[in-house]
Structures are given as structure tokens and as C-alpha cells.
């Protein structure tokens, strides 16, 4: 059995998805956390997702495998492609810049998996940690993507065609990293459990130089919150 008000939350183990999960819980949902091992170049974020799911009392946490690395096309799934580092904030997320760390169709695939589990649980709510203002130029982190996927969910499922509307929540979509962090702190979220790095050091610490680390550092600085991240 599962709780009557359930939300499926895509949980990568990063700062944004953890905050989205904390918001879902604060809004009264029991959490079913979904983490996807999609062939990314490291497993540290999977460990972080386990920590976050436990800290937020998720009643279920599925970790499933979908090998997007078989297709390549991204620095996150292909070790022959370098992760961009030491980019300026101006370069990071510049207009029209889709970086090498973009994984083709990743959020579409992950959202489809979350939708499938939601239907199996009779859940009608999905939570995503996507964000457009401090994103790195990913096309599948935009409001247009979220809106289009919600439309798809309501025409492609038994629930949708039966009139039980499915809602795709992206509460962070227009927030800065600083706003996200302040909200998470207000909800009691422990950001030391999270990892946002694209290319962690051998001992699991964040590199401090990739786009994700740069944006994370900027967010904590602007929020006036001590950065609990372990670097190096």
C-alpha cells in the first residue's frame, strides 16, 4: 500500500532536486523518489540521492538503470568528451549555448519513467527540480518543456483520459540558485547531503570547477548561506 497523497519526485541527489522534494513534502505529499542510473560518469550522485531520500522520509525510493551512455552525445555519459571547467558565469548558460554536459533527451526519458511509476501508484503529481535562470543552457529545463510534458501526460495515460488530471510541478523553474537555497534552508534541508558536481574527485568530493559547481558556489554566496559542499 502507498499513502493516498503521493508525489513521484525525480531525485538526482543534487541541490535542485532535493529542494523540489522538500517542497513536495512541505505541500503535504508523501514522497516516492525516483533516481535513474542513466550511464553517468560517476556514482556519487546516486549515493547522494539515497541520503536525501532517507532524510526526507521517502516511503519508497526506486533506483533504476537506463543506459543512455549507449547513445553517447554527452560529456556526462562519454568519458572521451571532457567536462567543461573554469567557464565564466557569462559563458555558463549564455544564450544559445547548449553545453557538452547536455544529455540528449534525458529529462524526457526520466519524466516518462516518473510518469509510469506515478500511474502504477495511482499518483497524480510529479515533481521536478528543473530550473531555467541558473541552468546551463539545457533545452529540457525550460517552462516550455514542463508544460509540453504535462500536456503529454494527460493524453498518454489511463488517468489522463479518464479525467484525473496529472500535474507536473516544477517549483524552482524561475528561481535563482540563491532563492532555491534559501527555500531549502527554511524547510530544514541539509545541503551537505547533496552533490551537484559533474566530475567529482576520486574520493567523491566536488571538483569546484564545472558549471554545476560554479552555479552552486554562486548560489550559496548570494544566499548568504555557508556552503557545506566538500570539494576535492
Domains, the chain, in order of start with CATH, read: 6-223 (3.40.50.620)
Q: pLDDT per position in the chain (232 positions), as tens? A: 577 799 999 999 999 999 999 999 999 999 999 999 999 988 999 999 999 999 999 999 999 999 999 999 999 999 899 999 998 766 555 445 788 999 999 999 999 999 999 999 999 999 999 998 765 678 999 999 999 999 999 999 999 999 999 999 999 999 999 999 999 999 999 999 999 999 999 888 999 999 999 999 999 999 999 999 999 8
C-alpha cell of residue 42: 560517476
Q: What is the pTM of this model?
A: 0.94
Query: What gap in Å lies between CA 228 and CA 214, rounded to an integer?
Result: 14
pLDDT value for 94: 46
Contact 194, 48 (CB under 8 A): yes
C-alpha cell of residue 35: 533516481
Return the exposure string of 62-97: e unless at least 16 CB atoms fall within 10 Å of the residue's CB, then b: beeeeebbeeeebbbbbeeeebbeebeeeebbeeee
Contact 122, 12 (CB under 8 A): no
pLDDT value for 97: 75
Return the exposure string of 185-198: e unless at least 16 CB atoms fall within 10 Å of the residue's CB, then b: beeebebebbbbbb
3-state secondary structure of 127: strand
What are phi and psi for residue 153, nearest 5 degrees?
-60, -30
Ramachandran class of 120: left when φ > 0, alpha when ψ lies in -120 to 50, beta otherwise: alpha
pLDDT value for 95: 46
3-state secondary structure of 111: helix
Using CB atoms within 10 Å of the CB of residue 60, give its burial: 0 to 12 exposed, 13 to 18 middle, 19+ buried: middle
Query: What gap in Å lies between CA 142 and CA 147, rounded to an integer?
Result: 9
Chain centre distance of CA 63: 14
Relative to beta strand 6-10, strand 30-37 is parallel
pLDDT value for 96: 56
Amino acid at each position: 500500500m502507498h499513502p493516498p497523497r503521493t508525489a513521484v519526485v525525480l531525485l538526482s541527489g543534487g541541490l535542485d532536486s532535493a529542494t523540489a522534494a522538500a517542497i513536495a513534502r512541505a505541500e503535504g505529499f508523501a514522497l516516492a523518489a525516483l533516481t535513474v542510473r542513466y550511464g553517468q560518469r560517476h556514482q556519487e550522485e546516486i549515493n547522494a540521492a539515497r541520503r536525501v531520500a532517507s532524510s526526507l522520509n521517502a516511503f519508497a525510493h526506486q533506483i533504476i538503470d537506463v543506459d543512455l551512455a549507449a547513445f553517447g552525445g554527452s560529456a556526462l555519459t562519454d568519458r572521451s568528451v571532457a567536462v567543461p571547467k573554469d567557464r565564466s558565469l557569462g559563458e555558463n548558460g549564455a544564450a544559445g549555448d547548449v553545453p557538452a554536459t547536455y544529455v540528449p533527451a534525458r529529462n524526457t526519458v526520466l519524466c516518462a519513467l516518473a510518469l509510469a511509476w506515478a500511474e502504477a501508484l495511482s499518483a497524480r503529481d510529479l515533481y521536478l527540480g528543473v530550473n531555467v535562470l541558473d541552468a546551463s543552457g539545457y533545452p529540457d529545463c525550460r517552462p516550455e518543456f514542463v508544460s509540453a510534458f504535462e500536456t503529454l501526460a494527460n493524453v498518454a495515460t489511463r488517468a489522463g483520459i479518464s479525467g484525473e488530471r496529472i500535474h507536473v510541478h516544477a517549483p524552482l523553474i524561475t528561481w535563482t540558485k540563491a532563492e532555491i537555497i534559501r527555500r531549502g534552508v527554511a524547510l530544514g534541508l541539509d545541503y551537505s547531503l547533496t552533490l551537484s558536481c559533474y566530475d567529482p574527485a576520486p574520493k567523491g568530493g566536488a571538483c569546484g570547477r564545472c558549471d554545476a559547481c560554479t552555479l552552486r558556489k554562486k548560489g550559496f554566496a548570494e544566499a548568504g548561506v555557508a556552503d557545506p559542499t566538500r570539494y576535492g
